[in-house]
Structure 1
Amino acid sequence: MRALRYTGILPSLLMLVVVIALNARLQPHFFGLPSLEDNIATLTPTILVCLAQAVIVLSGELDLSVGAGVSLINCLLATVPISAVGGPWGLMGLALLLALALGAINGVIVTIFGLPSLIATFATAAVWFGLALALMPQPGGELDQSVGDLYSGTVSGVPVPLFIVAGALLIWTLLGRHRLGRRIVAVGSNPAAAFQAGISVLRVKLAAYLVGWLLVGLAAIAISAQTLSGDARVGDTYTLTSVAAVVIGGISLAGGRGTPWGALVGAIVLGIVSNVIYFAGIPSIWQEFFKGIVIMSGLGFMVFEQKRAAVA
């Protein structure tokens, strides 16, 4: 319990239990295999973007362009003929290369040029969105069905989306055991002390952006495989959702404290909250309102828990 309180993940776990109980009450056969597979496939892009934001926030920075980046990659995938890149794997490789390029641009602007990440990524979000609109002014395009078949398939009976999420968490687990992961946390916690200890703060933050955007690329592939089409606004909700999931998961926006596992729980909480609102029969015009109320309640609970822990 002390470990859970220290990482800040305990309140989000309690929230997760509550929203799962509500969802199970409202959604028929919530624990049935088809329902679980559908929920996993739907939640995977959100989880990946939230994990990406978590890695960047742990380094002491923030990225407000992840949603626009998802849109840009999605529009590219829906525009490029699959035959031109050698099949579905080539198309996914192209998506990851673009994601790494976008992450590198953000990282260089923040680290080399020294611009505040909040302002820099707000500006690049507009650029990514503008490029997405240039590629696809109206929703459309088409991805090859083979991409959707890969995503909706199973490996030894386990859904592919679950493997993707597990792979993303494995990346962080390996990073956490490697010096890079420890340096990301150290730089986010106290960059001056990290610099005095001989750590290259700029390189570590740039690496955090690259790792984060690798996950953004996977998220864009996942959402594209589900829709099999392109839309310049498909990523609109992901930026704020990722920041909310990070905070709900107990990760300090100042950096250096928390774990991507908290972002995972926060992402699942927010995803299931959407299900609860839908199955509760709340009219669509009020859904975003009630979702915002739930998020604010969760954040208030987090702040209360943090203050109580500080007093204790």
Structure 2
Amino acid sequence: MKDIHDIKFQNGTKQELLSDLTPDFPYIASRVELDKFTGCFVPWHWHKEVELFYLQSGVLEYYTSKGKTVFPAGSGGLINSNILHMTRAQDSMNTVQFLHIFDTSFIAGKQGSRMEQRYITPIIAAPQIEIIALYPDHLAQIQLLNKIHESFNLSESDFGYEMKLRAILSDIWLHLLTMSLSSLEKKGHYNKINDKIKLMMIYIHEHYAEKISIAEIAAAAFSSERECFRAFRHCLHMTPAEYIKSYRLQMACSMLAESRESITGISHACGLGSSSYFGQVFREHIGCTPIEYRKKWRNSDI
């Protein structure tokens, strides 16, 4: 299991870059330490692969377009395919999450197979299912949570590891499908606003260093400015301007930690203007000056 302290994104998007996932074995196991992420949160992103998780310690907040779901230690769940989401540790100390991230072909087999049609597609094609939450105080869910927890104990060095992993993930999936039957009976309607917000986010990610107008963001998704505001409020629970600022600060944090560029250079590269304004905004949102942040990050690396 790989320890994760940050995530990478595909160029120009917020689709997570899963470089360790390969066509012959479309699966990754990760141990995520949220307190080592910048700001103790994972920014808004999405991926085609599903995300099955167990919270080992701490309290974790998952955000989707439908709002916030809180997971205490011992709980777990599933994030569906292509769902826009972010996570935040409620407490900055010792929030540890175990993750299975896998393409559903890993358990379904060939595309269009009976396995895929009967057991996989009903969940990943259901717009009403963004997240499935499992809690240890629900008697019917304890056994499934134990199974998810145990699934992370499989060792890659064991003979038959891949077969055992596929078997246990298939068993977990079948239980999740059974639990979801009542939700699946209530036919959901696909909301095109989710596609639009992704297009708008991609535009911001490609042009964050420049001056960006709401009209330009809206045009990237063939929408009006009014629709643009509604999409950001509905999906990200913030305004477009707030998202632009937060994204610029994310990029600034990365540059401060990973480069030796001057503070002035970083402030202009992130589209945050003068170094004095950059320092003011950075302190307001991050809680320290850019120089203090850079020193803190480098000391933690040492």
TM-score by length of 2: 0.25
Structure of higher RCO (CA pairs closer than 8 Å, 6+ residues apart)? 1
TM-score by length of 1: 0.24
More helix by share: 1
More strand by share: 2
Q: Which structure's CA Rg is the greater one?
A: 2
